Amino acid sequence: MEKSLESIHDHFPLTEAELRTYSALAFAYVGDCVFDLVIRTMVLTRGNNRPNRYHKEVTRIVNAKAQTDLLNKIKPHLSEEEMTIFRRGRNAKTISAAKNQSLHDYRIATGLEALIGYLYLAGRMERIMELIRLGLEEMEEEK
């Protein structure tokens, strides 16, 4: 069986040299979508439900504050390369302002999305899943 997001990446591969030319905001652009799709898939596979229930659960996780919490949980597990990508995303100057979120959380979320986008474009979907799983598990343990 083909692995969905990995198979998309396989159709549009980038070399290491090409990958290094992309900005942190380009990584965050695709990382936002990848993170959203992973979380939506996770929520949907927990059981058949009404769309508004899915939406409530997804928005509980896919927002700047929750992404900041998730990043704080996975931060000790990031490699130096991953921390560098995260910092590039966090420090990138964005045109849009945070909506209903603090600027601090918005920047952290952008850094997380940049990391996810980078890993996705590098073909490292398993690492994305490992980090998200780890972060969500640690967040659930705190409840």
pLDDT at 4 over 70: no
pLDDT at 1: 42
Do the domain assignments include residue 30? Answer: yes
Q: What is the pTM of this model?
A: 0.91
- The domain tally of the chain equals 1
| Cα–Cα distance, 51 to 73 (Å, whole number) | 29
Closest residue by Cα to residue 105 from 68, 58, 132: 68
* Structural domain for 78, as ranges: 14-137
Average pLDDT on 72-94 reads 95
Amino acid at 88: R
Do the domain assignments include residue 39? Answer: yes
Do the domain assignments include residue 5? Answer: no
pLDDT at 3 over 90: no
Do the domain assignments include residue 6? Answer: no
What's the pLDDT tens digit per position in 5-34? 666 878 888 888 999 999 999 999 999 999
CATH number of the domain enclosing 92: 1.10.1520.10
* Known catalytic residue at 32: yes
| Cα–Cα distance, 39 to 58 (Å, whole number) | 6
Do the domain assignments include residue 7? Answer: no
| Cα–Cα distance, 89 to 112 (Å, whole number) | 7
pLDDT at 29: 96
Active-site residue, selected from the candidate residues 32, 36, 69, 105: 32
Do the domain assignments include residue 2? Answer: no
Do the domain assignments include residue 27? Answer: yes
